[in-house]
Amino acid sequence: MLYYLSLPILSILLIVLQSTITDIIFSGSLLFEMSLIVVIYAGFRLDLIKGMVLAFVFGFVFDCVGGSVPGLFVFIYMIIFLFSFFVSDWLDTGKIHVVVLFSFFCAFLKEIILNLFYYMAFHINVMMNGYSIVFMQALIISLSAPLLFYLMDRAEIFIYEKRV
């Protein structure tokens, strides 16, 4: 129960932190999407219900803070969670290179879904001038994923005294 109650607060803190970091470090040109890494981590480590709720809450808060169409990131995060969840059985998720490559792939997947949505809904190609930015963003997410995975593992052990 504590997990579900703390989820909205944690999601707000994380998303505010990532948007602040984005503003300060990258001056708004790149988005350091830690929430996506958390969703991937949830897909690897959490059960389906907890993970789906996490993806929903994170997506919703991201939609509200980021100013995108409400429900869009809810949908994307849930897709990525489900993908990570079902793929985790076939992957050695303890290996750093697996985490890096999978995060890179998920970051691209997210951009493809986002682009498809905007193209279908508004006939806008959001990636038209920003392939290098998308690549850089995916690279940053994939390279920082192992560190965040490690920190979340440590937090999990600290809270539950063992890995869930």
Partner 1 sequence: MFFLKKYKIIIFIAVFLVTALMMISYNLKYGMNNSFLRKIVMETVSPVQEVLSVSIQSVKDSWLRYILLVGIEDENRNLKKKINDLKAVLVSYQEGYREAQRLKKLLSISDNNNYRFIAARVIGREQAALSRTVMINKGSSDGLKNGMPVIAPPGLIGRLVDVSLNVSRVLLFIDENSNIDAIVQRNRTQGIISGAGSGGMILKYISKTQDVKEGDVIVSSGMGGVFPKGWLIGQVIYVDRQDASLFLKIKVAPYVDFSKLEELLILSSDETKFK
CB of 146 to partner 1, least distance (A): 23
Query: CA–CA distance from 47 to each of 11, 32, 66, 112, 164 (Å)?
Result: 18, 26, 27, 26, 9
CB-wise, 37 or 61, nearer to partner 1?
61
CB of 65 to partner 1, least distance (A): 6
Query: Rounded to whole angstroms, how far apart are CA atoms 87 and 38?
Result: 16
Helix axes 2-25, 48-66, angle to 10 degrees: 40
Interacting residues with partner 1 (CB under 8 A): 12-13, 15-17, 19-21, 23-24, 48-49, 52, 56, 59-61, 63-65, 69-72, 74-75, 78-79, 82, 117, 121
Phi, psi (deg, nearest 5) at residue 29: -80, -30
**Best CA proximity match to 79, nearest among 98, 56, 99, 62:** 56
CB-wise, 4 or 131, nearer to partner 1?
4
CB of 107 to partner 1, least distance (A): 20
CB of 160 to partner 1, least distance (A): 24
